[in-house]
Structures are given as structure tokens and as C-alpha cells.
């Protein structure tokens, strides 16, 4: 998913020119015809999908400076590039003081606008990354700091936000690398305990004979080598949150003591003479199927139900691939700062390659892939060549050699899969599955290439169906103007299927 740019201008000709330039730069664009319409978008559900704003300073209803003032009042940190036909120094100073990231004079040249957009988006990504790092280190990470645009993940975060308002035990379930600890830290940072400690323990990394000592503490001389008293993680987290990662790896003896600590609100240090009261909010995480472990006797059933009071399941990255581009930009900003590199963009081909990968290691694997790409990059951009391992896996299905084409069986209804490095034969005669992205039948029943207008008609018909007739969204996804889309509908004979534009949501355009 490309960055989304909101164009705000009362001149329809200027809007169309800017829209064409922004689309040519590889960004997604949508427009507003005035300051009031822009604020409606910036303060509505679309706000999280806006990465940058190109704002005209002189407009009849609410001018650009008024929009900037309203954005500052409401805490909106979206970068803004202001433009006007009046390029006086006073206008420049006023715009910059109001929070604009850059300033261009009409008519803005394509090169100047492209550089301005690139710099504004890069600076915004870096600022957001520094903010997240600061919040993580101070224990004030919130759900707004989690990078996602996936509806599935937004549902997970809404569930987790409800847990943050109480002290209910939470069990975060999900595959390794999906970000379970990040969710736990966001719950802590959004709760009343955010000023208290957040103590994380990886239960799978503790030697079995030291689990009880590490969690519950021990007295001096309790066992050989115990030369001094140790408080334990429960005592360290008193008043705050104790995060037990991979809780399913706890040995049976530790499970018994953990159950008592949860039930009674007290712990017994190894070698201690009396229990110690603690006030701890418990958040657990696991990549195992704990219910299956309960059935085979590996995990205590009573402890499972104590931990499984409020389950939160985090989906794997392969089920929310729309998050990949945003995560890539998030990691890119961080690693460029750490490595001292100035990389401005990731190519569309590279993003398509990453979105097509299954990511068995989830977000952690993507993070490592971007880190490696930053180290490998020689210039100011990252392409497919910087992801050699992923590109090699994408090429495991080889293309059909041209010399073998005459000897191959008839290719009726053959499917071609579009990979980052070009088309490759999928080797199947299965019918087109409209739920599977990136596939399209290119041959008719006689084995001949289908006409281009027929393929275009199918793509447009599919897009209208997929986005439920919301023509603004269809036009954005196809990277064409809405008027162009309507013209294509008429040329392709879709007049009977064209939705009524008056019935579309106002925010869609």
C-alpha cells in the first residue's frame, strides 16, 4: 500500500493536476475542495489513512492557515506541504510557524513537489519512530503507537483497549513474532498502572531449576549458591504489570506456585518463612495451544482458566498483508537512523515482493529482512535485489521455457501468477479464484491471449464488486480519476452497473 496524500484545493483544475502528479510519483491520492471538507476527513475515520497533506493557503471557506491551526488544536501530526500563488516571505513564515513541513509556490514543478513529498514523509516516519521508542522506554507505549491498517488488527486492538481499563488477567495468543509483547506494553501504557513497573519474563528461557527463584525470589542461604537475598520478578512488578511470555513453557512445580500467587495475591520466596503480599497485574502470552496442553496433561487446567480470563488473539502477518508496507517504512526509518544511512524509498516492485511473501516468522522476520536490506543498500533506495532470500523463494516456481511451449499441452484456462520479477507459469488449469489476489486468466478457451479491453473490463468489474460499488475507493485502488473510471464504464458498456455517485459516502471522494 502506497502512502496516501490528501490534496486540498478549491480549484478543480489544480486538484486534477496535483492528483496526476502524486499518482505518477507512486502515492495514492484523494482530494478535498476546501478547508472544511479537509477537516472532515482529517478528523474522521479516514484520518489514520492520511500520510501527508498538500494544502492550498488561499481558499474561500476556511483557508490553509485556518486548517493548520485546527490541526494543531486537535493534535494532528500529519505532515503538511502548503502551496499558494502568492509566495511572499510573510506567507512562508506564517505557514511554517503554523506547523507546515514545507512550502511550494504555484504552479509547483513535478521535481520540486516530489522532493518535498519524499522529505516530508521520511521526516514524519522518523519522528513517529522516535516517539515510539521514547514511549517504549518510558513505559507509556499506547495502542496509537502500534503500526497497523488491518481491520483485523484494529478489532484486536479495540478488544485489548477494553482490557486496559481493568485489572483482569489477559492471555495474548499468537504465533511467534506477531508482536504479543507490544500488545502487552500497550495495555500497560494505557492503564492506570502505567506509572508503575512493567516487568517482562521469558518463561521458555529460564532453566527449570531456577524458575521459582527467579519468579518468586529466595532468601539468603536457601540453596547452594544463594549468597544473598533475591526479591523475584513478582516483587519487582509490585503495583505494576508482570508479563509472562511463553507461559506454556513453565514446569509443573512452577505452575502450582503461580496458581497460588494469582489466587491469593501473595508469593512464597524459596526458603522464606512467610508469604509476601503483592499487587500485580498479570498478562501472559503463548504461541502454544494451551487447551491442547491441558488435555494431554502438560498444563494445569485450573491455571489455564485463571490465565484465560480475557484472551486476545493476534493474527499472523500473512493474514494482514496490508500492514506490510507501513511496517516496512516503520523499520526503514529506525534502521536508517541507527545505521546512519539516507534511504528515501522502497521500490514498488520490492513492496509487491514483500506483500506476496507468507512470512512464517511474522513481523520479527520482516523486521530482520528490512534490517538486512538497509545494510545491503548502496544507494538511496531499496529494490528487489536487497531482498535476495525472499526473491529466491518467489522464484521457486520457474517460468516455462520458450522452447518447451510447442511441446506443452493445450493451455486452456491457464493461470498466470504475477510475481515481482515478472509472470511465471503456475502450472494449473484451475478456474480463476476471485478470492486469491494476483491471479488472472490471460487465455481464452481456444488457448489464445484474451483482448486487452476484455481483461480491463474484468478487472474493473472485480474492483467494483470487491469494494461494494464505492467508486471513489475503486478509482483510488486502480490509480485513476473518478471521472476516468466513469468514462471507462461507459466505453466498456457498464452503464447498467454504474452506481449512483450521489449515494456514495461524502468522505470517499
The 10 Å Cβ neighbour count of residue 386 is 23
Give the per-residue pLDDT at 439.
61
Kind and range of the H or E run holding 4? strand 4-8
Residue 250 — φ and ψ, nearest 5°? -65, 140
Phi, psi of 443 (to 5 degrees): -120, 145
> Is the pLDDT score of 246 beyond 80?
yes
Average pLDDT over residues 263-289: 89
Tens of pLDDT along 387-445?
998 988 877 534 434 444 333 333 333 223 333 333 332 333 333 343 344 467 777 76
Q: Supply the pLDDT for residue 141.
A: 83
For residue 3, how many other CB atoms are within 10 A of its CB?
24
Model-level pTM?
0.64
What is the rounded distance in angstroms from the CA atom of residue 113 to the CA atom of residue 102?
10
Residue 367 has pLDDT above 90, yes or no: yes
Q: How far apart are alpha carbons 371 and 345 in whole angstroms?
A: 14
Rg (CA), the chain: 28
Measured CA to CA, the distance from residue 55 to residue 79 in angstroms comes to 10
Give the angle 96-100-103 at the CA atoms, nearest 5°: 80
Tell me the per-residue pLDDT of 202-217, one tens digit each, with 9 for 90 and over.
998 888 888 888 898 8
Q: Over the chain, what is the mean pLDDT?
A: 80
* Residue 401 CB contacts under 8 Å (≥ 6 apart), including other chains: none
Instruction: Please give the Cα distance from 476 to 89 (Å, whole number).
Output: 36
Task: Give the model confidence (pLDDT) of 78-129 as tens digits.
Answer: 899 988 776 567 777 888 888 888 888 887 888 888 888 888 887 777 777 7
Q: Per-residue pLDDT tens for 35-87?
A: 888 888 888 766 777 889 999 888 888 888 888 888 888 888 889 998 877 65
For residues 445 and 450, what is the distance between their CA atoms, to the nearest angstrom?
A: 9
**H-helix segments, 197-271:** 211-216, 233-236, 252-264
pLDDT over threshold 90, residue 373: yes
pLDDT digits (tens, 9 = 90+) for 152-163: 999 999 999 999
Q: pLDDT value at position 375?
A: 93
Tens digits of residue pLDDT in 311-335: 999 999 999 998 998 899 889 888 8
Amino acid at each position: 500500500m502506497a502512502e496516501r496524500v490528501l490534496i486540498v484545493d478549491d480549484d478543480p483544475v489544480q486538484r486534477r493536476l496535483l492528483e496526476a502528479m502524486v499518482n505518477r510519483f507512486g502515492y495514492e491520492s484523494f482530494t478535498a475542495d476546501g478547508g472544511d471538507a479537509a477537516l472532515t476527513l482529517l478528523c474522521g475515520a479516514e484520518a489514520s489513512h492520511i500520510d501527508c497533506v498538500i494544502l492550498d493557503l488561499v481558499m474561500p471557506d476556511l483557508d490553509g492557515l485556518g486548517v493548520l491551526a485546527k490541526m494543531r488544536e486537535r493534535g494532528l501530526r500529519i505532515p503538511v506541504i502548503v502551496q499558494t500563488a502568492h509566495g511572499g516571505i510573510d506567507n512562508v513564515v506564517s505557514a511554517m510557524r503554523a506547523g507546515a513541513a514545507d512550502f511550494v509556490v504555484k504552479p509547483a514543478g513535478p521535481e520540486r513537489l516530489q522532493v518535498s513529498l519524499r522529505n516530508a514523509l521520511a521526516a514524519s516516519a522518523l519522528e513517529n519512530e522516535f516517539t515510539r521508542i521514547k514511549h517504549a522506554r518510558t513505559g507509556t507505549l499506547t495502542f496509537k503507537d502500534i503500526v497497523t491498517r488491518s481491520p483485523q488488527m484494529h478489532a484486536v486492538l479495540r478488544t485489548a483497549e477494553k482490557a486496559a481499563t481493568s485489572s483482569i488477567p489477559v492471555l495474548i495468543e499468537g504465533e511467534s513474532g506477531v508482536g504479543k509483547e507490544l500488545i502487552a506494553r500497550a495495555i500497560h501504557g494505557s492503564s492506570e498502572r502505567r506509572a508503575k513497573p512493567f516487568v517482562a519474563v521469558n518463561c521458555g528461557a529460564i532453566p527449570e531449576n531456577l524458575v521459582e527463584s527467579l519468579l518468586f525470589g529466595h532468601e539468603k542461604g536457601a540453596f547452594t549458591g544463594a549468597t544473598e537475598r533475591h526479591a523475584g520478578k513478582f516483587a519487582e512488578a509490585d503495583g505494576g504489570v508482570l508479563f509472562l511470555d511463553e507461559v506454556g513453557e513453565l514446569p509443573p512445580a512452577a505452575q502450582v506456585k503461580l496458581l497460588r500467587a494469582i489466587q491469593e495475591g501473595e508469593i512464597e520466596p524459596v526458603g522464606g518463612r512467610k508469604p509476601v503480599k503483592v499487587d500485580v497485574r498479570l498478562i501472559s502470552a503463548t504461541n502454544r495451544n494451551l487447551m491442547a496442553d491441558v488435555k494431554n496433561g502438560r498444563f494445569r487446567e485450573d491455571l489455564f482458566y485463571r490465565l484465560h480470563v480475557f484472551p486476545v488473539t493476534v493474527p499472523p502477518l500473512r493474514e494482514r498483508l496490508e500492514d506490510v508496507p507501513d511496517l516496512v517504512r516503520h523499520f526503514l526509518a529506525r534502521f536508517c537512523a541507527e545505521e546512519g544511512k539516507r534511504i528515501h524509498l522502497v521500490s514498488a516492485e520490492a513492496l509487491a515482493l514483500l506483500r506476496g511473501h507468507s512470512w512464517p516468522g511474522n513481523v520479527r522476520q520482516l523486521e530482520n529482512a528490512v534490517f538486512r536490506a538497509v545494510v545491503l543498500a548502496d544507494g538511496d533506495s531499496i529494490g528487489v535485489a536487497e531482498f535476495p532470500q525472499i526473491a529466491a523463494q518467489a522464484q521457486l516456481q520457474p517460468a516455462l521455457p520458450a522452447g518447451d511451449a510447442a511441446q506443452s499441452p493445450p493451455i486452456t484456462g491457464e493461470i498466470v501468477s504475477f510475481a515481482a520479477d515478472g509472470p511465471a507459469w503456475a502450472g494449473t488449469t484451475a478456474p480463476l479464484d476471485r478470492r486469491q489476489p494476483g491471479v488472472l486468466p490471460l487465455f481464452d478457451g481456444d488457448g489464445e491471449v484474451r483482448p486487452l479491453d476484455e481483461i480491463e473490463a474484468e478487472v474493473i468489474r472485480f474492483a467494483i464488486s470487491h469494494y461494494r460499488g464505492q467508486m471513489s475507493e475503486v478509482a483510488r485502488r486502480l490509480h485513476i480519476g473518478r471521472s476516468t473510471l466513469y468514462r471507462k464504464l461507459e466505453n466498456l458498456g457498464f452503464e447498467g452497473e454504474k452506481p449512483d455517485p450521489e449515494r456514495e459516502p461524502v468522505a470517499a471522494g
